[in-house]
Amino acid sequence: MEYVLKTDRLTKEYAGRKVVDEVTLNVKRGDIYGFVGKNGAGKTTFIRMILGLTAPASGSFELLSEKDIFKARRRIGSLIESPALYSNMTALENICLLSTIIGADKSKSEDILRVVGLSDTGRKKVRDFSLGMKQRLGIALALVGDPEFIILDEPINGLDPTGIVEVRELLLKLKNDFGKTVFISSHILGELEKIATSYGIISRGKLVEEITAEELEKKCRGSTVLKTNNSEKSLKIIKDNLGIVNTEAKADGSIVIWDTVENIGMLTNELFENGITVSGISTSDNGVESYFIKKMEEG
């Protein structure tokens, strides 16, 4: 398994307080890695260390399996908070200028704008762009030089619903169509859930948990628990008669249906008609947002 970022107990202190506290995380190539935390949790400080904008107090990290960290950073694109744009210039002029500054191929500027959906802005000045368009242009600037790894700090913060959808679709496009690895910090949990393949949850500077989207889905799936007078027969009826296959018999005799049952009445009636007595029933719906909030409170 190839990693584009590996950190080992990375730590940053300000005034004797650890704002990033021995964070060890791993970002796999091809992931959209959601770095989740409340405002002030240490997300931006962590990113600034990776990008060389501030020095760690202790710990280490590895970028793109490259021994030379300065060389590795040339293969990274980034956007921290609000993009630095020249408002009196067009989108294309902004891209061309940055390309000139970093020595990238200017001939690819229009292709970059096409990727982010800004190829039709023509001579329109950036000062007349919507917030969503400016954010997409900021991501376009992060793509100058064709980086392998893109780091974005709160790219959907402050956007309206339309702007959020535009950025979400762009990030999926970068992963799926262009093979980019994306590290995105955010506190907007509902949006991250729609795009992230892995997560790191940070609270008060500490990494609380790393988890894949598949693992998170399993932990947060709804469930219905039944207590009956015959668990073996009940399980067979649920599977054969109702077609509910994602079930499990527990050692205490209860049956767990790993899903939210829409029609509880139909379920209990089917069991009753087949001679089964239901003595207890409970349901739970563990949402992703609730899970994240609980984890962040553990920090």
Provide the whole-model pTM.
0.80
Structural domain 3-217, CATH architecture: 3-Layer(aba) Sandwich (3.40)
Give the integer Cα–Cα distance in Å for 80 and 184.
10
**pLDDT tens digits for range 227-247:** 889 888 888 888 888 888 788
- Note the pLDDT of residue 276: 87
pLDDT for res 167 = 87
- Convert 149-186 to b/e letters by CB count within 10 Å (16 or more is b): bbbbbbbbbebeeebbebbbebbeebbeeeebbbbbbb
- Residue 170's SS3 state is helix
The tokens describing 187, both together, are: 């506190």
- Rounded CA separation 134/152 (Å): 14
Q: Which fold has domain 222-285?
A: Alpha-Beta Plaits (3.30.70)
pLDDT in tens, 27-46: 999 999 999 998 889 999 99
More confidently predicted of 139 and 242? 139
Residue ranges, comma separated, of all CATH 3.30.70.100 domains in the chain are: 222-285
